[in-house]
Structure 1
Amino acid sequence: MTAQATVPALPTRKAVANGGDGDGPAIWLSPVSADLSRIITTTKSDESPSLGVFDLTGKLLQTIRAGEPNNVDIIYGFAVGNETRDLAFAACREDNTLCLFEITSEGTLRTISGGSQPTPIEVYGSCTFKSPSSGKTHLFVNAKSAEYLQYELGSTANGTLTTTFLRLFTAESGGQVEGRVVDNENGWLFVGEEPLGLWRYDAEPDSDVSEGFSVDVVSTSGGNLYADVEGVTLVPGKTNDEGFIIVSCQGVSAYNIYRRASPHDFVMTFTIAGNTDGSVDRVSSTDGIAVIGDALNADFPNGLFVTHDDAKELPEGGTSEEASFKLVSLEIILGAEAVTSLGLLRQVDTQWNPRSS
């Protein structure tokens, strides 16, 4: 059953900011305690290019220099030498490299040997994939022209990261792409083509990518999306058929939800309002997004949704020069009154363990 509903604007829980010109965030799930999980944000401005690390209260814990990272993703439990580590991965525009950092058990970032890997393209977006068949970790990186390069991530015996090129393909019509996410369990790569729509490809390196599966197209072509199609993220479910894909539509400052199971039926659209007391403004010109369904703490008992906000509106008028990221309880989104009959929240895996496989 599909709701095809537009849900009234949902309230923001918290907001964080670090530098200017941000983009796609990530959420790192702590192995120590869920309430020690972290939000990692990007600042791609050439004035202060960095990654920022926040706790769940919105407190900035760390910034670390990175070469104009466009978006950031998490790799859990990767074998580095004779140790297992979590990594943060970003495409860095400054020198067109794949940038990787170690995430410590405390949830801070530090450099790692081999953490800068060259590419032959002008990088624009990236994501990670752990193959369910081989167990290997792959890195996707793309150019604006929709060229996608796929690499295998490796490590030497002494703990230096390496990459091995696997394949190159062009996503659908070759329009500008940025947002993407991989469904590891099902082996799917979802690609947001900014002017046209959302596509699905097989993520395994030996799969046929000559034609993508069209999940949805923009409204001018009869679909439910609106240009620019920007961030794409996955809400893990209790089974491989449960869960959701969320897509941000920059032109209307809204978000579409689709079912994870093929053919990925459209469920609903929502927007994000400011706090009722005016302390946090609404989201406008949204870009990158991230989500996690785990029970984290009292503020986020059924997961967390994080979105970039391009224009942070100030109470006294005007906008801030800092990039803003808004934090919303996933319970507010999937438990919205307009869709409660669909039982969306019941499908979310609140005990998802990314280190179990």
Structure 2
Amino acid sequence: MRFDRFCLAAASALLVAACATTEVDYQGEGEGFVGPGVRVQARLETPSVGTGGGEDAADDPAIWVFDAPVRVGAVATPGFVVGTDKKAGLYVYGFDGAVLQFLPEGLLNNVDAVDGLSIDGRPQLVLGASDRTPGRTGVSLYRFDPAGGPDNGVRPWGAIATDVVEPYGFCFARRGSEVHAILVGHEGEVRQWVLSVDADGRPAAREVRRFDIGTISEGCAADEATGALYLGEENVGVWRYGLDPASGDARTQVQGIAPDVLVADAEGLTIIADGEARYLIGSSQGDSAFPVWRIDGAAPAYVGRFVVEAGAVDAVTGTDGLAALGGPVGPFPEGLVVVQDDVNDIGTQNFKYIDWRDIRAALGL
């Protein structure tokens, strides 16, 4: 995100800790600075998000592919990308970047999608978004029926209420037959619920864990294969917790803030499966780069980082949220990574689509 309040960059850990209640942007090279990393290019982009004037609006995407093509309005598609406009609502995009649907749902920040729930006897895709709209702060929930007809689309479903004052990060996870929803508050408050469907077809949420990360946090990604929950503390680094609520607040640090690896503020997190390998991708917003760790081993292993230079579309700078999905994703045969672009060349912020094969080749994975 772009922020009006800054901490001065400093090598001293004490000074960083002193700034821990304020969000940090990289100050060494100026706005839009791009640090070291292997170079890749985005294949395409979405239209601008927001109402103009350089407004900070685009925030976080999620990607989903269905077993068979679905319809969103008049368009048949193998899946879609959803992205938040944190000033106005939720976009649904095709794999060509075109807008398929817009829901004027208010101040939605982070979004994720999950299957595993049936509503009115029909399997549904459920989407959740952290919602900062005054009077309804919490998690707003949406449903999409893969078997829907010509007027099909993403529809509001309900909400999860919370005591978190400013919902920020959000992600879903599957644990066996359970669907878990995990909310990260601006000040590092974490709430974890088991999400289900009640007798009337409405969402029901049972809180199963709460803890505090420590300071300002947002990034959230669950690795169901290894039972890990990765959370980003923006001015401190990336942490690995257990996905099992019984693990409490026990954690290990994956990566601390460090020059040329992860520069404050650390923003979005996402996981991509590539065959037997699984990778965690982060957003080093302070120098417009993306560190990558392999996470299917005994401990996360840093494998390098990439930046997105200008090519068919403009370069990516100051990324906030990002999402990744391995395997066939529309025209991307082995996976897709979608990232928010803070400073777009034409218009306001938007989302860029990157072929996973390009990232994998550049990093030598």
The counterpart of 1:301, out of the listed 333, 343, 358, is 333
Identity %: 28
Q: Does 1:167 align with 2:209?
A: yes
Q: Please state whether the residue corresponding to 2:191 is helix, strand or coil.
A: strand
Q: Distance in 2 between matches of 1:162 and 1:259?
A: 35
Could you tell me the TM-score, scaled by structure 1's length? 0.83
Q: Distance in 1 between matches of 2:175 and 2:58?
A: 29
Q: Counterpart of 2:287 in structure 1: which amino acid?
A: V
Q: Distance in 2 between matches of 1:219 and 1:19?
A: 31
* Aligned Cα root-mean-square deviation (Å): 1.9
Bigger shift: residues 162-171 or 264-273: 162-171
CA contact (8 A) 1:295 1:301 kept: yes
Could you tell me the TM-score, scaled by structure 2's length? 0.81
Match in the other structure for 2:127: 88
Instruction: Point out where structure 2 has 5 or more consecutive residues left out of the alignment.
Output: 1-35, 51-56, 71-76
What's the offset of the Cα at 1:166? 1.5
Q: Counterpart of 2:195 in structure 1: which amino acid?
A: L
Q: Counterpart of 1:300 in structure 2: which amino acid?
A: F
Q: Counterpart of 2:337 in structure 1: which amino acid?
A: F
The counterpart of 2:279, out of the listed 244, 249, 272, is 244
1:189-208 mapped onto 2 (5 Å cutoff): 189-208=229-248
Q: Distance in 2 between matches of 1:153 and 1:296?
A: 27
* Structure 1 pair 154–18 and aligned structure 2 pair: CA distance change class (3 A): farther
Q: Distance in 2 between matches of 1:40 and 1:183?
A: 20
Q: Distance in 2 between matches of 1:82 and 1:104?
A: 11
- Residue by residue over 1:254-303, the C-alpha shift from the partner in whole angstroms, topping out at 9 and shown as x without a partner, is 00000012311100110001225xxx211111110000111234x41211
Match in the other structure for 1:351: none
Q: Please state whether the residue corresponding to 2:352 is helix, strand or coil.
A: strand
The counterpart of 2:263, out of the listed 226, 230, 241, is 226
- Residue by residue over 1:209-255, the C-alpha shift from the partner in whole angstroms, topping out at 9 and shown as x without a partner, is 2x3111111116xx83111110100012434xx21000010010000
Q: Counterpart of 2:145 in structure 1: which amino acid?
A: T
Runs of 4 or more consecutive aligned structure 1 residues displaced over 3 Å after TM superposition:
none
Q: Does 1:264 align with 2:264?
A: no
Q: Distance in 1 between matches of 2:300 and 2:197?
A: 36
* Structure 1 pair 296–167 and aligned structure 2 pair: CA distance change class (3 A): closer
CA contact (8 A) 1:82 1:157 kept: no
Considering Cα pairs closer than 8 Å and 6+ residues apart, tell me whether 1 or 2 has the greater RCO.
2
What's the offset of the Cα at 1:7? 4.2
The counterpart of 2:49, out of the listed 19, 22, 37, is 19
Match in the other structure for 1:329: 355
Q: Does 1:126 align with 2:170?
A: yes
Q: Distance in 2 between matches of 1:184 and 1:144?
A: 24
Q: Distance in 2 between matches of 1:327 and 1:197?
A: 25
Q: Distance in 2 between matches of 1:142 and 1:302?
A: 30
The counterpart of 1:185, out of the listed 219, 225, 229, is 225
- Residue by residue over 1:142-193, the C-alpha shift from the partner in whole angstroms, topping out at 9 and shown as x without a partner, is 211111011111111231111112221012xx12101110001211110111
**Alignment length (residue pairs):** 311
CA contact (8 A) 2:211 2:248 kept: no
Q: Distance in 2 between matches of 1:178 and 1:7?
A: 23
